[in-house]
């Protein structure tokens, strides 16, 4: 059982649900342009319509109300609120004001993500995260949003999944903007991104009384395949925070969360990257590490590890225990919601909120007109039960399921479905899946 004031919510992001990509003065984002390039999106789709939430936000809130959540996490499209001259676009901001008012009328607390990957194209053309002025642009945008939503929103996440921004957007190039950075550029861009976070925190604290702020990285925890083995857990913990220059290096947890929560990059960072370090000043680190209220973290999956006969940590490559989601990286590893939060708390010692957790399935509408998705319910039950277990040891304050709707799953397009609500993209019809009812039983029991 979670505490009475436990936050139970669902999460979405602007480009993935809103549609209406050129209404009311919205300017082009890197996703608007990335989706136009043939071959970038698996099924050739884009975000021009998707769930139509820009037009249907009142319906969205009705569904949220029915679901019984006490919070809704959504993101703001920078490109709706700021125009190409870097000035306020009031019409775009009004959409979010109206959405928040509707949520509050229904006793649902908004949790706003400022950056969920849809950077203005014009800003990316000026260098994106390699531009040293990027944090001033981000601070200006944050200033406009926080003033515009004053009295409506006090919960903010600055940046969603910095690892995906860097790794998928600038290394693997599966995501926008699809510009490949060198290692040296990567480190500079990460540092600038962290400074964006820091500047935004200062602006929010200045503008919003009683604000609650966080940063939402993602992680794939190393889970011991034997729960009793303390040495194994210790080695999994160390591996989880390791900072190494392999091809996955921008995916590490400590490179982002150590500066934010501990005030500096890990020691191993300075050793690994000694020849290509960006310019890091004391003021930067002070800016980046202003106190936050929560550790937000997105967890979907993990890996099991064991010790070999010499006590070396080895990945259990051929673990056949649980099924996989219908997307290549989503192995069902419920213990991720036990060990992930546990490791984070041990290192950073702050209350934890799961800002995303969800399952991707090949959902279809049955001939009875319903969508039966027992796999999703099973996933949620298993993960939440691990979270309940760990909540006896450390403070867990909330859980957001990803996602309310099926939506635009980035480079995978529209075929990968994570929603509690099915969306028929031909006519916009929304159908509550079985898991929609089941998740209520789990959280509202």
Active-site amino acid positions: 161, 356
Residues that bind ligand PNW (CB under 6 A): 13, 16, 160-161, 164, 218, 220, 298, 300-301, 329, 356, 402, 409, 418
- Rounded to a whole number of angstroms, the minimum distance from the CB of residue 358 to ligand PNW is 6
**Whole-number Cα distances in Å, 186 to 211, 310, 359:** 31, 35, 30
What residues are paired with 305 via a beta bridge?
224, 315
Q: Closest by alpha carbon to 340, among 385, 282, 298, 290?
A: 298
Nearer to ligand PNW, 161 or 233 (CB): 161
Nearer to ligand PNW, 289 or 301 (CB): 301
Nearer to ligand PNW, 75 or 289 (CB): 75
Q: Is 284 helix (H, G, I), strand (E, B) or coil?
A: helix
Helix and strand element counts for the chain (H, E): 16, 14
- Contact between residue 260 and residue 193 where contact means Cβ atoms under 8 Å apart: no
Using a 10 angstrom Cβ sphere, with 0-12 exposed, 13-18 middle and 19 or more buried, the burial of residue 57 is buried
CA distance linking residue 224 with residue 316, whole number of Å:
10
Nearest residue to the partner ligand PNW, using Cβ: 329
Angle, CA of 33, 256 and 84, to the nearest 5°: 30
- Rounded to a whole number of angstroms, the minimum distance from the CB of residue 150 to ligand PNW is 27
- Rounded to a whole number of angstroms, the minimum distance from the CB of residue 109 to ligand PNW is 20
Nearer to ligand PNW, 330 or 390 (CB): 330
| The token pair that represents 323 in the structure block | 């099924």
Exposure b/e, 147-156, CB count within 10 A at least 16 = b: ebbeebbbbb
- Contact between residue 191 and residue 289 where contact means Cβ atoms under 8 Å apart: no
Residue with tokens 């996490």: 73
- Rounded to a whole number of angstroms, the minimum distance from the CB of residue 285 to ligand PNW is 26
Nearer to ligand PNW, 289 or 297 (CB): 297
Nearer to ligand PNW, 164 or 371 (CB): 164
Q: Give the DSSP H or E segment for 354.
A: strand 352-356
| The token pair that represents 420 in the structure block | 């509690």
Q: Is 277 helix (H, G, I), strand (E, B) or coil?
A: coil
| The token pair that represents 158 in the structure block | 């600055």
131 Rama class: left (phi>0) / alpha (psi -120 to 50) / beta = beta
Q: Is 430 helix (H, G, I), strand (E, B) or coil?
A: strand
Nearer to ligand PNW, 233 or 356 (CB): 356
CA distance linking residue 335 with residue 129, whole number of Å:
34
């Amino acid at each position: 059982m979670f505490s009475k004031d436990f936050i139970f919510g669902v999460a979405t992001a602007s480009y993935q649900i809103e549609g209406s990509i050129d209404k009311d003065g919205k300017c082009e984002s890197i996703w608007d342009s990335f989706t136009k390039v043939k071959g970038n999106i698996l099924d050739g789709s884009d975000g021009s319509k998707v769930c139509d939430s820009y037009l249907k936000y009142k319906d969205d809130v009705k569904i949220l109300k029915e679901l019984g959540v006490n919070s809704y996490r959504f993101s703001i499209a920078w490109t709706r609120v700021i125009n190409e001259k870097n000035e306020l676009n009031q019409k775009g901001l009004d959409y979010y004001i109206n959405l928040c008012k509707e949520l509050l009328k229904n006793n649902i607390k908004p949790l706003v993500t400022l950056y969920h990957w849809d950077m203005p194209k014009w800003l990316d053309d000026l260098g994106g995260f390699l531009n040293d002025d990027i944090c001033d642009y981000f601070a200006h945008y944050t200033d406009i949003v926080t003033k515009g939503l004053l009295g409506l929103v006090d919960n903010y996440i600055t940046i969603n999944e910095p690892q995906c921004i860097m790794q998928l957007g600038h290394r693997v190039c599966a995501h926008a903007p699809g510009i490949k950075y060198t290692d040296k550029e990567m480190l500079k861009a990460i540092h600038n991104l962290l400074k964006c976070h820091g500047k935004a925190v200062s602006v929010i604290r200045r503008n919003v009384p009683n604000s609650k702020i966080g940063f939402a990285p993602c992680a794939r925890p190393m889970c011991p395949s034997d729960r009793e083995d303390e040495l194994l857990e210790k080695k999994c913990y160390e591996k989880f925070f390791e900072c190494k220059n392999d091809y996955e290096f921008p995916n590490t947890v400590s490179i982002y969360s150590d500066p934010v929560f501990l005030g500096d990059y890990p020691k191993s960072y300075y050793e690994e990257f000694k020849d290509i370090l960006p310019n890091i000043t004391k003021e930067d680190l002070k800016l980046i590490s202003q106190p936050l209220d929560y550790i937000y973290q997105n967890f979907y999956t993990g890996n099991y590890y064991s010790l070999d006969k010499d006590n070396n940590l080895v990945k259990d490559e051929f673990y056949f225990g649980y099924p996989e989601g219908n997307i290549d990286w989503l192995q069902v590893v419920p213990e991720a919601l036990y060990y992930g939060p546990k490791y984070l708390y041990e290192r950073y010692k702050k209350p934890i909120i799961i800002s995303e957790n969800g399952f991707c399935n090949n959902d279809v509408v049955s001939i009875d007109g319903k969508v039966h998705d027992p796999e999703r319910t099973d996933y949620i039950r298993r993960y939440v039960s691990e979270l309940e277990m760990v909540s006896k040891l450390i403070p867990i304050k909330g859980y957001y399921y990803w996602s309310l709707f099926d939506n635009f799953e980035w480079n995978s397009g529209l075929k990968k479905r994570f929603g509690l609500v099915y969306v028929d993209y031909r006519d916009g019809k929304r159908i509550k899946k079985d898991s929609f009812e089941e998740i209520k039983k789990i959280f509202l029991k």
